[in-house]
Amino acid sequence: MSEEGLGIGATLRAAREEKGWTIQDVGIRLRLMARQIEAIEAEDFSRLGQPVFARGFVRNYAKLLGLDPNELLEQMTRVKLPTVRETESVPFTPSQEFWKSPWVLGGIAAVVLAVAIPLGLYWWLTSDAAVPAPAAVEQSVPPPAPPPAPVLAGQTALPAPEQSVAAAAQAGEPQAQAAETQGAAAQPVAAQPQANAASVPTTDLRLQFDDISWVQVRDSSGRIVHTGLNPAGTAVDIEGEAPFYLVVGNAAKVQVLYKGRAIDLKPYTSVDVARLTLNP
């Protein structure tokens, strides 16, 4: 109930000061800016936009302070709230001056260059004329082999040095291949290093929904690991690195189990929304 003789803003301000809260404290709880709270307490509703927004702000402010919002809203009906006049939209009709604007011409030129440069580069790389013909490689001609020496009577013809080397290579080829195979088998194979996957520490966190609720959960890095609207009768298991930062809508209908222990959301709830941090 508002105090006798006090207006809407004065009633809210007196209730706030009685709780020892600052304007910033109320703004955090209602997710409003400080200037909006000041406008409500000063009854300067023109700074709050349309009348429906002003009534909603006053209703939430009264609920937060434990006041009866209907009584304050009834007082607002006797106050002529300002209306925000919507400007008439004028259809845009391009003119010749628009197309002569340097910004428009520059944008068109940038688009043309962005398309022409890749096409030209592709054509240049795939064109046969852009690839130079390979130079002719001169092949070295081996000098003519010397004529064989005459064989005298009673002598046996000896093979040429080149033939001896070739025959020896052919005769020793199987042994050389076997030796290379044994040497390759004897060499130890270097073990390929295995990349150790970074282990991600996990923490058990379970959310059970007795009614539809919107929830957002962030891990220690600030990354959102779960967010969205959860139907009634469902549950969500969340794994990540603690601490966890939770924003839970319709908190009275949500059960939070952290490491097998139930977490009471009432101390962290304001206007049906709970905000809390779960440390490791």
pLDDT tens-digit map of 27-56? 999 999 999 999 999 999 889 888 899 999
Residue linked to tokens 């009673």:
154
Q: Which is higher by pLDDT, 240 or 92?
A: 240
- Rounded Cα distance, 146 and 220, in Å: 86
Collapsed DSSP state (helix, strand, coil) of residue 220: coil
Binned at pLDDT 50, 70 and 90, residue 197 comes out as: very low
> Model pTM?
0.31
User: What are the tokens at 86?
Assistant: 């919507």
- Is 246 in contact with 277 (CB distance < 8 Å)? yes
CA 276, chain centre distance (Å) = 23
Q: Give the burial class of 278: count Cβ atoms within 10 A of its Cβ; 0-12 exposed, 13-18 middle, 19 or more buried.
A: middle
Beta-bridge partners for 254: 209
Q: What is the pLDDT of residue 179?
A: 43
Is the peptide bond preceding residue 267 cis, with omega within 30 degrees of 0?
A: no
- pLDDT, tens digit, 9 for 90 and up, residues 86-143: 444 444 445 555 666 777 788 888 888 888 887 777 676 665 444 444 444 444 445 5
Residue 54's closest CA among 25, 28, 83?
Answer: 83
Contact assessment for residue 278 and residue 244, using Cβ atoms and an 8 Å cutoff: yes
pLDDT for the residue 124: 66
Q: Are strands 205-209 and 254-258 parallel, antiparallel or unpaired?
A: antiparallel
